Amino acid sequence: MKKRTGMQAILFSLPAILLLPGASAQAANSYPTVAVADYVLGCMIANGQTRETLERCSCSIDVISTIIPYEEYEAAETFQRMGQLPGEKGVIFRQTAPARNTTANLRRAQAEADMRCF
């Protein structure tokens, strides 16, 4: 039997690591890096630009990601952003049942994150 090099051993064991309990749940709740960075940046602008705020804002998006899946987070963010359009253009993003429900879920997740992190 041929002895594996360090890199080969790591690559060989990688699939086994992915099968560990919790690894798939963590992957299922992961948000894209850009979304995380955008959230943390906005949070820091709103709450102060200190190291402590960075840690709290990072904690906040981590909590949110355990409560709602990224697709729902993305939809809620879209509803909120598009709901700022004035007049009839923004009505569908503010007053429809899907818009209200999705944004309410995000607000609940943010409230939970605030309680845990701030």
Q: Which pair of tokens denotes residue 8?
A: 């080969």
Residue-level pLDDT, tens digit, the chain, 118 residues: 445 454 444 334 334 333 344 443 444 458 999 999 999 999 999 999 999 999 999 999 999 999 999 999 999 999 999 999 998 889 999 999 999 999 999 999 999 999 999 9
What pTM value is reported for the model? 0.73
Q: Report how far residue 71's alpha carbon sits from residue 30's, in angstroms, rounded to the nearest whole number.
A: 11
